[in-house]
Amino acid sequence: MGTVWIGSIIYLNDKYPDVEWDWENINTKDMYFPKNFIWGTATAAHQVEGFNTNNNWYRWEHSFDQNGKSRIHNSDKSGDAADHWNLYKQDINLMKNIGVNAYRFSVEWSKIMPTINKIDQDAIDHYREVCIALIDSGLVPVVTLHHFTHPLWFEDLGGFEKEENIKYFLEFSELMFNELSDIVKYWCTINEPAVYVSQGYFNGVFPPGKKDPLLAGEVMKNLLYAHTEVYHLLKSLKNGDQSQIGLVKNITQFDPLRRWHVLDWYFSKILNDIFTNSTIDLLLNGEFRFYLPGMADLSYTNTKAIKALDFIGLNYYSRWHVKGHLNPNEPFTFEKRKQDIQTDMPYSIYPEGFYKALNTVSKLEMPIIVTENGIADDKDDRRKLFINRYLYALFQAMQDGLVVNGYFYWSLMDNFEWAEGYSMKFGLYEVDFSSQDRIFRDGSQAYKEIINRPAVDSRGYKVSIGDKAPNLELNMLDGTRINLSELLGQVVVLQFTASWCSVCIQEMPHLEKEVWLPFKDEGLMLIGIDRDEPLEVVKKFKKQTGITYPLALDPGANHFSKFAHKNAGVTRNIVIDKKGNIAFLTRLFDKGEFEAMKQKIKLLLKE
Ligand code: BGC
């Protein structure tokens, strides 16, 4: 027994190491994102709009538990929330101020279909106006159809507990799609089925406040079935083929508190399986299993669910540490660790988990959109660190080749945080709920700063063809100085190189023979710029290659980083026309591209 125990522990620790990065030695400034990246903020109707008096959450906020206590922290009620319903135009300006290019929000079913057979056209028109206002401001609308709330009539029919009720959600989804899909391309069907289920049917802290593992499994199955049906239905409608429709999956990892304890490993696995793997398996293989030992075991097959999405939305916040017990009434508990930096929510800052979660959803081989990520931080003393580290984790995942198309920060502004009421401050903007004033938090600057950095293209370039070339003051190898502005009227080629770069060494004789020698007397200037090497090394390098065109120094790669990201590689030629505009960019030594560059130079010389 003992050996099996030890063997399993060794195996598990080896297979699932506890990933923790050495943040002291990571420079989170060193990250860059692609040019067409979707940057956004996210909200949900019930949390920000106000005046939702006809949905499951309204009833929940006004009900009491068996001890007569409010269900919501501090007895808060969503009430007028951030009055986003009326203030959306002003809020769009807040988004513009950050510099984002997209907004994820949800449409409130209970406002659109207040009773089972009534449609409120004014409510639909409102959402259309919101979308138009966003588009007019250069923001892409991303619409969520179900974000934890639905009409009371739907709740009273049994909500998602009953498969036969899914038809109502399909009706609502079809209605909204028909109304908005001419201007809305991105759709999220259901927000976080696993959170809806665990909080509403397992922990009992969200409506309907049940603690019924069997029913939890059933509701989870129904929600995923609803997603599948909605996906196929919307795809079959007008504009369906041009739309991007995805499911929003929250990943919270469950990790063993005691890495030497089999029970902690066991319950972590059970929880990861029901919370995350069951959904991934269904979307990947059509197989779903919801298994909680002694409490629930539900299996279901639906081949229509396989790849029933155009993107996977990932919501990631943190992980939980699990402690297993030999107590059937309380088989596990969640514990905090002293060494972790906590957020105001009962979980820690864990960017490594974000990186892992991105890898988990990448198994679906679908583009990923991070539909939520953010921190509750009332003191605003961890927000900056959170943003820098989580975005660094995102950057690392993208560097590894994961296809991530966008990131939405949760949340644009403080809002009604469900069972936690107004106590949790997730906003980039702080909201004073009595005056409805919004104030941009200091820590939120980090987000603004990162998303407004010059983006890079897939080759690591910050600049594009047509841009004005940045001005450089070059220190030449022979001790002279050249200012690029002095070269206006000539065609200039800047070649970024280094003595350790074999591709550069391969290319340099071609530059010498096919560019420098034939065109140097025709109005061309070619300057090699050696990236970050001392004078002596560069001198030797010049000798070895035998080139006769001039070389300049680039200590600290400061010149290089005006054109490309600092971490991107050398072997690049930047061709600048007579007016000082970038006309051609090469990367590595590709014969075809090199030829095209020569042709371009010839044309530019003639201009
Ligand atoms: C939900 C949001 C919520 C956020 C922060 C997500 O689970 O989609 O509605 O406010 O987490 O807790």
85-141 tens-digit pLDDT: 999 999 999 999 999 999 999 999 999 999 999 999 999 999 999 999 999 999 999
Q: Residue with the nearest Cα to atom 10 of ligand 1?
A: 417
Q: Residue range 398-412: average pLDDT?
A: 96
What was the pLDDT predicted at 213? Answer: 96
277, HSE (Cβ side, Cα atoms, 13 Å):
12
Mean residue pLDDT of the chain comes to: 97
Q: How far apart are alpha carbons 366 and 144 in whole angstroms?
A: 19
Question: Residue 193 Cα, ligand 1 centroid: separation in angstroms?
Answer: 12
Mutate-to-test residue for ligand 1 from 410, 415, 417, highest number of ligand atoms within 8 A of CB: 410
507 catalytic? Reply is no
Q: Is the pLDDT of residue 83 over 90?
A: yes
Does 455 have pLDDT greater than 90?
no
From the list 49, 161, 179, 192, the catalytic residue is: 192
Q: What pLDDT band is residue 303 in, cutting at 50, 70 and 90?
A: very high
DSSP letter, residue 454: P
pLDDT per position as a tens digit, 521-580: 999 999 999 999 999 999 999 999 999 999 999 999 999 999 999 888 999 999 999 999
251 Cα to the center of ligand 1, angstroms: 12
**DSSP 8-state secondary structure symbol assigned to residue 59:** H
Tell me, what's the pLDDT at 567?
84
Of 227, 231, 256, the residue nearest 245 (C-alpha): 231
Please give the distance, rounded to the nearest whole angstrom, from the Cα atom of residue 414 to the centre of ligand 1: 12
499-509 pLDDT, tens digit each? 999 999 999 99
CB contact at 8 A, 141 and 42:
no
| pLDDT the model gives residue 406 | 98
pLDDT at position 147 is 99
- Probe target for ligand 1 pocket from 417, 424, 425, with the most ligand atoms within 8 Å of CB: 417
The per-residue pLDDT for range 409-442, each reduced to its tens digit, is 999 999 999 999 999 999 999 999 999 999 999 9
Q: Residue 188: is its pLDDT beyond 80?
A: yes
Mutate to test the pocket of ligand 1, among 105, 196, 372, 414 (most ligand atoms within 8 A of CB): 372
For residue 225, give Cα distances in angstroms to 180, 219, 231, 395, 460: 23, 10, 10, 33, 42
| Band of residue 399 on the pLDDT scale cut at 50, 70, 90 | confident
The answer, yes or no, to whether residue 384 has pLDDT greater than 90, is yes
Q: Is the peptide bond before 435 cis (omega within 30 degrees of 0)?
A: no
Segment 75-85 shows an average pLDDT of 98
The strand ranges marked E within 293-336 are: 296-301, 311-324, 332-335
Task: Report which protein residue has its CA nearest ligand 1's atom 9.
Answer: 44
HEC assignment per residue over 207-270: CCCCCCHHHHHHHHHHHHHHHHHHHHHHHHCCCHHHCEEEEEEEEEEEEECCCCCHHHHHHHHH
Atom of ligand 1 nearest to the CA of 345: 12
**pLDDT per residue over 231-259, tens digit each?**
999 999 999 999 999 999 999 999 999 99
pLDDT at residue number 31: 86
pLDDT at 1: 61
pLDDT at position 216: 98
Is residue 371 pLDDT above 90, yes or no? yes
In the chain, % of residues over pLDDT 70: 100
pLDDT for 454: 84
> Which residues contact ligand 1 via a Cβ below 6 A?
44, 47, 191-192, 195, 250, 315, 372, 410, 417, 426
Specify burial of residue 120 (Cβ count, 10 A radius: 0-12, 13-18, 19+): middle
Give the residue whose CA is nearest to atom 5 of ligand 1. Answer: 417
- The CA 123 to ligand 1 mean position distance, Å, reads 24
Angle among Cα 110, 111, 114 to the nearest 5 degrees reads: 60
Q: How far apart are CA 539 and CA 541, in angstroms?
A: 5
